[in-house]
């Protein structure tokens, strides 16, 4: 077993479950009698030698339980693209010097596919120059777009929120006799998993959303109008991914405004629902509105999935165990087995980093405006159960650094 201390950091967009994963890492370190440091604001915390001693706060088990249901990233986050080591030797030496300063020999990085690129680069450098630090990635993203894992921690809770929000919006719309169209924009730049989850809102009293559009399939204005004309709902609800594209492969949101890009070159999208709203309002002349769920879908822990939180703790513990056994350059993942259970697996970081898992054709209807029963069967187990929420003055209680 590897000697030394743990360090852990969180990266990318916050979720309802990323702190549950942090709980798992902390508990995994404690079970080995280790000291564990948290790097503040992701890999930037390592670069800037900004560490906090997690043993101090979380030796209190009440704080561990509170952390599990606290949304967002307790340690803070970043969107920092670690450059290649070839031309940045001094930066990498600074990172490993800071690890050595705190006797850190095991580093767990919790994040999405871009964060796993950092895992890949740091692990390769450590191995090449015999730094003796073992780097393990633990997945996190509401987008559910990481390769080689059945699903990602954070997706189940976000999917549950999306389905709940769509259901409640549909209830709001249904009270009026006048016809209407409501377009709901859901996160998903190139992968439509979250938008697909809106289908879970359907029940024996509501068939909303009536149309679902994912970025995996292009959508022409003509098809959109034809689909709406064919729909018999009086108060129509349409779910669209933020990244839906027209027949020319252009983002709908690009028709509303210029798109900016983050440090990784990813388009930062919003406005697709507004574009769809304007198209349909002009065509049909009835009450039409758009709703953008925006950041609400990321961190709504008050109705999180207990399955998601429990699995997040489990995969965090597994990541800590893997690092202590000398594994490096790997990313933890889930493999579905049986009726519904999961095994923890490991993947090479090169098979996860900078890649995107799209919604497969088998989960998308042949008309490209809905999802299939196979998707519902896939998604339902991930949203099950509700955690016990600690409240204060009637409001969920959180813990902050």
Catalytic residue among 62, 87, 114, 143: 143
Confidence (pLDDT) at 261:
43
In this predicted model, what pLDDT tens digit does every residue of 348-391 receive, in sequence order? 999 999 999 999 999 999 999 999 999 999 999 999 999 999 99
- According to the model, what pLDDT value does residue 56 have? 96
CA atoms within 13 A on the CB side of 219: 30
Beta bridge partners of 184: 239, 291
Show Cβ contacts of residue 285 under 8 Å, excluding neighbours closer than 6 positions. none
Distance CA 351, CA 224 (A): 36
Q: Which two three-digit tokens encode residue 29?
A: 């370190």
- Record the tokens describing residue 312, joined without a space: 């997040």
- Cα–Cα distance between 202 and 48 in angstroms, integer? 48
Whole-angstrom distance, CA of residue 205 vs CA of residue 124: 55
Per DSSP, 208 falls in state: -
Q: 384, 305 in Cβ contact below 8 A?
A: yes
* Beta partners for residue 347, in sequence order: 331
pLDDT at position 209 over 90: yes
41: left (phi over 0), alpha (psi -120 to 50) or beta: left
- Rounded CA-CA distance 37/98 in Å is 12
Please give the Cα distance from 353 to 373 (Å, whole number). 30
For position 232, what pLDDT does the model report? Answer: 87
Give tens-digit pLDDT for 12-68: 999 999 999 999 999 999 999 999 999 999 999 999 999 999 999 999 999 999 999
pLDDT of 1 reads: 85
- 121-138, pLDDT tens digit by residue? 999 999 999 999 999 999
For residue 260, pLDDT over 50 is answered with: no
Question: How far is it, in rounded angstroms, from Cα 55 to Cα 53?
Answer: 6
Helix (H) or strand (E) run with residue 341 in it: strand 341-348
Position 258 pLDDT exceeds 50: no
Block residue for tokens 């767990």:
108
Q: CA angle 308-32-316, nearest 5°?
A: 20
3-state SS of 262-308 is CCCCCEECCCHHHHHHHHHHHHHCCEEEEEECHHHHCCCHHHCCHHH
**161's tokens:** 């929120």
Ranges 270-279, 302-311, 330-339: which has the least confidence: 270-279
345-362 burial code (b ≥16 CB/10 A, e <16): bbbebbebbeeebebeee
Of residues 160, 172, 308, 323, the one with CA closest to residue 237: 172
**What DSSP string runs through 377-390?**
HHHGGGG---PPPP
62 given a catalytic annotation? no
* Secondary structure of residue 252 in the 3-state scheme: helix
């Amino acid at each position: 077993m590897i000697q030394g201390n743990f360090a852990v950091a969180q990266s990318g967009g916050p979720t309802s479950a990323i702190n549950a994963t942090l709980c798992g890492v902390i508990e995994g370190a404690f079970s080995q009698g280790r000291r564990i440091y948290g790097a503040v604001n992701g890999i930037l915390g390592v670069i800037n030698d900004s560490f906090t001693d997690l043993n101090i706060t979380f030796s209190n088990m009440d704080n561990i339980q509170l952390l599990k249901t606290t949304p967002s990233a307790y340690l803070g986050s970043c969107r920092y693209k670690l450059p290649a080591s070839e031309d940045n030797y001094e930066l990498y030496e600074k990172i490993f010097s800071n690890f050595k300063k705190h006797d850190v020999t095991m580093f767990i990085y919790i994040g999405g596919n871009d964060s796993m690129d950092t895992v890949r680069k740091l692990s390769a450098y450590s191995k090449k120059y015999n730094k003796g630090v073992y780097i393990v990635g633990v997945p996190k993203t509401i987008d559910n777009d990481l390769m080689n894992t059945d699903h990602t921690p954070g997706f189940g809770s976000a999917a549950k929120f999306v389905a709940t929000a769509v259901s409640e919006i549909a209830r709001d719309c249904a009270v009026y006799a006048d016809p209407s169209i409501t377009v709901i924009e859901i996160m998903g730049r190139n992968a439509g998993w979250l938008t697909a989850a809106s289908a879970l809102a359907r029940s024996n009293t509501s068939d909303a959303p009536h149309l679902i559009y994912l970025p995996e399939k292009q959508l022409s204005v003509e098809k959109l109008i034809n689909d709406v004309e064919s729909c018999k709902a009086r108060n129509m609800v349409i779910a669209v991914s933020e990244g839906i594209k027209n027949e020319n492969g252009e983002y709908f949101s690009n028709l509303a405004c210029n798109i900016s890009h983050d440090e990784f070159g990813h388009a930062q999208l919003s406005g697709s629902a507004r574009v769809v709203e304007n198209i349909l309002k002009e065509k049909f002349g009835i009450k039409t509105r758009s709703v953008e769920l925006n950041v609400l879908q990321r961190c709504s822990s008050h109705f999180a999935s207990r399955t998601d939180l429990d699995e997040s703790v489990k995969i965090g513990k597994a990541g800590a165990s893997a690092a202590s056994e000398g594994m490096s350059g790997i990313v933890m993942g889930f493999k579905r087995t049986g009726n519904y259970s999961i095994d923890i697996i490991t993947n090479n970081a090169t098979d996860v980093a900078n890649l995107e898992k799209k919604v497969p054709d088998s989960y998308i209807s042949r008309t490209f405006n809905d999802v299939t029963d196979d998707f519902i069967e896939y998604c339902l187990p991930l949203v099950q159960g509700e955690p016990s929420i600690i409240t204060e003055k009637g409001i969920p209680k959180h813990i902050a650094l």
